[in-house]
Structure 1
Amino acid sequence: MTSCSGIPDDIKQKRANYEAAENAVPFPSGLVAKSPTERINVAEKLKRDSDANRLSYIYIIDHGLVVAHYVAKGKVSSSDSQLLPEQEYRDMCGDGCVDYQMVTAAGDDATYGDREPGIFFFTPEGMLVTTTLDYLQFDRPMKVNTPISLVADAN
């Protein structure tokens, strides 16, 4: 039986935890963690990933061979990422009775269901590249000792 007396305490706590995480500073000061080196590494990666003008070199791999290479501007992103929350609280009563339940939310494209797999990134020229193949990412170009079977045409 569902109570109609307001938002349950556990839902209030989950919401408070969510809001605290949303407002958290991404680079906590002090040596709070047992492994500060890990925190330093994660903070550096976050700073690099947050640089929209950062160039990186992406090598797409299929069956152990480099099949394509690109210069990426900004971050390589998961195709499964979205801007909106994946779940939302909704009042299921709709008649003044408050019965909040967690339900699946629509995605950024206003549809439901799985999004496409893989990763995507943009080249400095603005070309969108999406793949489900494995990849390597570097801060500088790497020498490839095998022929590359797919090369992007900038035109």
Structure 2
Amino acid sequence: MSTHSTQQDLPTETFTWGSIKWGVTADRFPGAPITVGEVVINPTKGHDVHTHPESDEVLHVIEGEGVQTVGDSGEFRVSAGDSIYIPRGTEHSTFNTGWRQLRLLAVYSPGGAEEALREAPDYQVLSPGAAPVWERAD
């Protein structure tokens, strides 16, 4: 039974705002009760307000800076080292305010919330080893 994943072996899910690599999912590790992945949000980008009705989420900022919303708490600044807890069913969003990529570790408990992202109109999946290409704005 495999118990570890490597970045080069994982597909990359891309969106207009950035990308995600899911390192731990129930698909990859049958019976895994959580989902863990690295989220990259590009400068001046963010994702729409959304919820995860069946999962709590924890975000840990690895690198960069941005603004976060969680429910009625208003908008607050986040930067490397910060952790955010988002209870299931709570509206939230993340936006990159810095010049570098905003890198987050995302954890869903229980896992499975990542499956809804595949329904996004801008969703694309790249094969393992393929790097996303971001075009420069004029």
**Structure having the larger proportion of residues in strand:** 2
Q: Which has the higher helix share?
A: 1
Name the larger-Rg structure: 1
